[in-house]
Amino acid sequence: MRERQVEKYLKTNIERLGWKCLKFESPGYAGVPDRICLLPGGRTVYVECKRPGENLRKLQQKRKKDFEALGHEVFKVDDYDSVDRLIDRIK
């Protein structure tokens, strides 16, 4: 399974709930999560997609800690099951 398959599964299933799943790219600021998920009630969740078993790179780990220090939720998904668990958690 490839990262893009995990990312597509995330997007499809988030949008199936009526939520938004936007691609997040930040020129000049590397290491940001792949997706921003906009949920009801103004809740925003950041998601990094990886292929199965792949870990966050050091810069991605730093960005995750930086975002969390500001009160944001950041998650990593690496297969369909982890996407399903994430969706159950954030519902």
Helix 80-90, helix 3-16: angle, nearest 10: 30
pLDDT of residue 89: 98
- Band (pLDDT 50/70/90 cuts) for residue 33 is very high
- Band (pLDDT 50/70/90 cuts) for residue 62 is very high
**Over residues 70-75, mean pLDDT:** 99
pTM here is 0.96
Q: How buried is 42 (Cβ within 10 angstroms: 0-12 exposed, 13-18 middle, 19+ buried)?
A: exposed
Residue 50: C-alpha distances to residues 32, 62, 76, 89 (Å): 13, 16, 7, 19
Residue-number span of the structural domain to which 54 is assigned: 3-90
pLDDT of residue 78: 98
Q: For position 19, which CATH number holds?
A: 3.40.1350.10
Number of domains the chain contains: 1
- Band (pLDDT 50/70/90 cuts) for residue 86 is very high
**Which residues make Cβ contacts (< 8 Å) with residue 4, sequence separation at least 6?**
49
